[in-house]
Structure 1
Amino acid sequence: MKRRVIQLFIMVLSVILLVGLFVWLDLLIPLLIGIAIVSPFVIGWQILFDHVQPQGKLAWLLTVFFIPFIGVLAWIMFGRTPRRHRRFKRTSSEIRMLRQAIESEKIVTSPDIGSTYPLTRSLEKLGASGADGHTSTTLLINGEEKFEALIEAINGATDHIHIQYYLFRTDDISLKVRDALIKKSNEHVTVRFLYDGLGSQEIGEDFIEPLRESRVHVQAFDPVLHPYLVFNANFRNHQKLIVVDGRIALTGGLNVGDEYLGKDEKLGFWRDTHLRLEGPIVRELQQLFVENWLYAGQGTIDETWDLFADEEHLSRYFVNEPKGKNGATQLLVTSPGNDVTIRDGFMRLLMDAKESIWLTTPYFIPPPELLAILEVAGKNGIDVRIVVPGKGDEWFSFHATEYYFEQLLKRNIKVYKYNRHFIHAKTLLIDGKVAFVGSANFDFRSMYLNHEMMIAQFDTTSIQELHETFLNDFEESILIDWTMLRKKSSRKRFIEAFCHIFSPLL
């Protein structure tokens, strides 16, 4: 009801402003001209001191000065830096108390793991969790396997379910997942449901009310006032995570919606990768969820850190249940601001490649430092292969990605366009032995602006599975060559170049 009242208020205000625009047009024109002259300088001054990449600063300055009204509005919605994101400060003490309480539950990289897989030590220094050698990993390919595992995990819950997604629809599969959560809540399983306020803006009271009536705890991560009035479009929580009973976790590239089952008429078949985990690394994922939950609920709910990690609840949520030996597994998490753990992790793994670098990403818009490493690897004879969509879901990102094709081919990098339309997997395989699977795209937004997560794996049982999926993806793709690039029309080249200019903003 509250959401509808706000929407009605916005609609009435919009009508009043529209009428006023015609009535007071003579007075408004000089005012608008003044705003168009002054606002770019005010915003431009702020941009100069923002802690963002120089490419991003330049793109914003050009946008703000050459298209003032649109540029200023876009910066207010998308361009503000994390130091303006003050809500975190109100929850920092809660999160600090949580981290202190679970310090003894944190994974410590054993000397055996550290000596066998030296990269784990490097990633840990860059901000990753400790490396665990007793976590089982199972690759889930595409929507059918992911949602089957998701529903199975929910149905098997006996104590609690923690679930968070960037995008949660209201379609058939979304209702199926929601109803499964309601069923378990009615069986006295504690369910906490967290969704991103912008990515899941499709969710309304009609969807949420049945959850709350069944005692499911529901929170939005940085809710937006209205889809047309978004003032915190950056710094979104792009993570996908479910933790069941502190023992099972699922994470990866798939959100919840029918399109992930290939039911989108535009995109058709949807290729994606997810991961099922059991073992000590689940404790790290549990901490991630709880921190997100505390942040989202501060000031609106009475759940605090001690309900998860005091002496009474610690063993309930942070379960110590090692599985058989299975290589090594680590968690990397990035938050907006100066935290670039995932970017640094990518750089470290790419620089360590000796034979091959295989990458799948729906948006290949890399920061210059990552692109440079790939180019050097390609020139040095390393087998670098990148798989991108044959059909894009976002016009700007799709054409910005294709701008890089010529540059990549010059560096002996193989580029594949997935021929079954859309590939959304975020995976990296180095030398067939080390892998990343998670939520982060290979673009500016995932490296600097979003809350993201990646699972690093070293010689785990799912590495060979991932190797096979890459081979299948190559078979299902078209290898780009110079003949294809020379056939590009001037119009296509212009669109790609235009989109590339704004790539730091995508």
Structure 2
Amino acid sequence: MYLLKRRVLQLIGMFVLGIFLLLSLYSIDGLIPFLIGVGILAPLIVGWNILFDQVQPQAKLAWLLTVLFIPFLGALAWVLFGRTPKRHRRIKRTSSEIRMFRQAIEADRVETTNDVSDRFPLTRALEKMGATGADGHTATKLLVNGDEKYDAVLKDIEQATHHIHVQYYLFRTDEISLKIRDALIKRSNENVTVRFLYDGLGSQEISEEFLEPLRKSRVHVEAFDPVVHPLLVFNANFRNHQKLIVLDGRIAYTGGLNVGDEYLGRHKKLGFWRDTHLRVEGPLVRELQRLFIENWLYAGHEEESETWDLFADAKHLPEYFINEPQDANGATQLLVTSPGKDVTIRDGLMRLLMEAKESIWITTPYLIPPPELLAVLEVAGKSGIDVRIVVPGQGDEWFSFHATEYYFEQLLKRNIRIYKYNRHFIHAKTVLIDGKIALVGTANFDFRSMYLNHEMTIAQFETSSIGQLHDAFLKDFDESILVDWSMLRKKSNGKRFIEAFCHIFSPLL
């Protein structure tokens, strides 16, 4: 009912505005002063708000330049995409639900034991920065590319017996999407509880026609911050970029892959799509389950939506929060970032990078680092640490691709090696430090992931999958072109101008 009322009010507002503009057309003498007034006042008001906004100076300057050079469109773009990401205004019922849920599961949160912190002292530091507790009995398995990920997911969906929780930023309506959807429908028809959560903007191509078979099969469906229309998106800056599946509270998946045929190399332009995902078993799944349920409760604005006690009262808590230690080595820890002042992933990443003694290896589709992260990499490179970054040989987004290439010269000067992936596009979001510490998750190495999106990543300390990640990096290096000075000198002036232009506005990406 809440979403319905909000959409009705937005549609009424659109209708009233349209009528007003149409009536104004009959009086040009009245319309022109109105448009001039809007064209002057809107940039001034927006510019004033930008000036006192609590954002990075680079982002502030970029927005001011945008509003200065394209006043009306720049002001509109800031309203839609640039406002400071404050914590979401949840309706009273939703906020209360999440608070009661957190209280109910507090005793079931993962705690960092002394034996884990003694072996890996950094886990305590990350916990103080907002990460979950670190677990020493969680098993992880690296899944490279779409074939491995989707095969494993479909197999585990088929074997689920109690519940399946699915959350994606981008869920398409193509062949692999239908295959996973139909697998969820099949399990729901076999009395497995299925919950399906998708981002309202990232998965905007999902239609009622796609969702109707899910609902008919009793699959619970929710959209995270749904939008009425792509042209009327006033929460576009606050997207949920997380990818997460939890099955029976025992198995979880997260990483770079959404659901779409392009992740299987079927993109007409990009061709082969290189990516990385993670399969998780053990106590840390409880933290991933908690994250999904909090997102689910937030998305469920309707009065008939599920309540906290369906997950965490005395009867249901043991069904959703399982404690099954695995025969595993090392330790794992979850880091989550939300829009606003929560920068746990950025802080944790900086802390880990500063501990590097021998090597820092990174894969990212978008290399647009905030200044503080860039400074850490530059210091590491100049001090003799082996810093390597793998970026796409071909980009999926024109602006981000050229903004990324702007940094090449600056990084090469600091002895940082840049690899352009030669099999076209690489979408993995991974970090490997000294061959012993790894990060695998959904966060890119850019402003948006560090400050604006809901993101998640799993830190691993000497787990068995770190060896798999090390081998994946070596293969990526072999299949990439090492950028050198001769390549940079061949750039045309036009290419340099495009890169410099994109770099100016890179904090807005």
- 1:133 matched to 2:136? The reply is yes
1:476 is aligned to 479
Change (3 A) 1:455 1:73: same
- Mapped contact 1:389–1:421 kept (Cα < 8 A): yes
CA contact (8 A) 2:252 2:279 kept: yes
Answer with 77-86 or 244-253: which moved more. Answer: 77-86
- Give the Cα–Cα distance (whole angstroms) in 2 for the partners of residues 12 and 210 of structure 1: 32
| Counterpart for residue 356 of structure 1 | 359
2:72 to 45, 48, 69: 69
Q: Which residue of 1 is the match for residue 55 of structure 2?
A: 52
CA shift, 1:65, in A, is 2.4
Matches within 5 A, 1:339-378: 339-378=342-381
Letter in 1 for 2:375: A
**2:188 aligned partner, one-letter code:** S
- CA drift of 1:17 comes to 7.6
Q: 1:180 aligns to what? A: 183
Report the secondary structure of 1:320's partner residue. Answer: coil
**Deviation (angstroms), 1:48:** 2.5
Aligned counterpart in structure 2 of residue 454 of structure 1, from 452, 457, 461: 457
- The aligned residue for residue 388 of structure 2 is 385
Q: How far did 1:474 drift?
A: 0.4
Aligned equivalent of 1:218: 221
In the aligned structure 1, how far is the partner of 2:167 from the partner of 2:259?
10
Answer yes or no: is the 8 Å Cα contact 1:248–1:276 preserved in 2.
yes
Kept in 1: contact 2:188–2:217 (CA 8 A): yes
**Cα distance per residue 1:298-320 (max 9 Å; x no partner):** 33533111111011100000001
Q: 1:37 to 1:3 in 2, by over 3 A?
A: closer
Q: How far did residue 12 of structure 1 move?
A: 8.2
CA gap of 1:17–1:149, structure 2 versus 1, over 3 A, is farther
Which residue of structure 2 lines up, in the alignment, with residue 419 of structure 1? 422
2: distance between equivalents of 1:339 and 1:12? 37
One-letter amino acid of the structure 2 residue matched with residue 130 of structure 1: G
Q: CA deviation at 1:21?
A: 7.0
Contact kept? 2:94, 2:300, Cα under 8 Å:
no
Say if 2:86 and 2:339, in contact at 8 Å, map to a contact too.
Answer: no
Alpha-carbon distance in structure 2 between the residues aligned to 1:152 and 1:6: 44
Look up the equivalent residue of 1:286 and give its one-letter code. Q
In the alignment, what sits opposite 2:83? 80
SS in 1 for 2:232: coil
| Distance across 1 between alignment mates of 2:488 and 2:304 | 55
Whether the 8 Å CA contact 1:269–1:422 is kept in 2: the answer is yes
Query: In the alignment, is residue 99 of structure 1 matched against residue 126 of structure 2?
Result: no
User: Equivalent residue of 1:83, what SS?
Assistant: coil
Give CA-to-partner distance per residue, 1:199-231, whole Å, 9 cap, x none. 000001000111000000000000011122211
Corresponding position: 1:120 with 2:127: no
Cross-structure match for 1:505: 508
Give, as a single letter, the amino acid of the residue that structure 1 aligns with 2:85: P
Q: Provide, for residues 434-454 of structure 1, a one-character-per-residue CA deviation record: whole Å limited to 9, x for no partner.
A: 000000000000000000000
Tell me the amino acid that sits aligned with residue 345 of structure 1.
G
| 1:88 to 1:446, Cα distance in 2 relative to 1, 3 A | farther
CA distance in 1, matches of 2:145, 2:23: 52
C-alpha spacing 1:4/1:344, structure 2 compared with 1 (3 Å):
closer
Deviation at 1:82, TM superposition (A): 2.7
Q: Deviations over 1:12-43 (max 9, x none)?
A: 88986886675444432221111111111211
Q: Does 1:237 align with 2:240?
A: yes
Matching of residue 203 in structure 1 with residue 214 in structure 2 = no
Shift, 1:2, TM fit:
11
User: Which SS does the other structure have where 1:303 is aligned?
Assistant: coil
* 1:411–1:179 Cα change, 3 Å: same
The offset of 1:197, in angstroms, is 0.1
Deviations 1:255-314 (A, max 9, x none): 000000000101100000000000000000000000000000033533111111011100
Deviations 1:130-188 (A, max 9, x none): 11011110000000000001111111110000000000000000000000000000001
The runs of 5 or more residues in structure 2 that have no matched partner are none
Provide the residue aligned with 2:161 in structure 1.
158
SS at 1:102's partner residue? helix
Tell me which amino acid in the other structure corresponds to 2:32.
I
Q: Is structure 2 residue 231 aligned with structure 1 residue 228? A: yes
Q: Are 1:264 and 2:264 matched, yes or no? A: no
* Structure 1 CA distance for aligned equivalents of residues 482 and 355 of structure 2: 25
**Cα separation, partners in 2 of 1:301 and 1:367, compared to 1, 3 Å:** farther
User: Which amino acid counterpart does residue 362 of structure 1 have in structure 2?
Assistant: P
1:387–1:417 contact (8 Å) kept in structure 2: yes
Please list the CA deviations of residues 356-395 of structure 1 after superposition, one character each: whole Å capped at 9, or x if unmatched.
0000000000000000000000000000000000110111
Question: Are the equivalent residues in 2 in contact too, given 1:7–1:226 (CA < 8 A)?
Answer: no
Asked if structure 2 preserves the Cα contact closer than 8 Å seen for 1:294 and 1:304, the reply is yes
Indicate the residue corresponding to 2:147 in structure 1: 144
The answer as to whether partners of 2:245 and 2:252 remain within 8 angstroms in 1 is yes
Report the alpha carbon displacement of residue 85 of structure 1 after superposing the two structures with TM. 3.2
- The number of equivalent residue pairs is 506
> 1:83 corresponds to which letter in structure 2?
K
Whole-angstrom distance in 2 between the partners of 1:33 and 1:4 = 30
Q: Do the aligned residues in 1 keep the contact of 2:91 with 2:301 (CA within 8 Å)? A: no
Hey, what's the Cα distance between the residues in 1 that align with 2:136 and 2:179?
35
Aligned to 2:405: 402
Decide which moves more: 310-319 or 21-30.
21-30
Q: Distance in 1 between matches of 2:319 and 2:443?
A: 30
Q: Distance in 2 between the 1:11 and 1:43 partners?
A: 21
Indicate the larger mover: 85-94 or 291-300: 85-94
TM-score by length of 2: 0.96
Note closer, same or farther for the CA distance 1:14–1:417 as it changes in structure 2 (3 Å cut).
farther
What is the deviation of 1:63? Answer: 1.2
Within the candidate set 286, 298, 301, 2:289 is matched to 286
- Out of 254, 258, 261, the position equivalent to 2:257 is 254
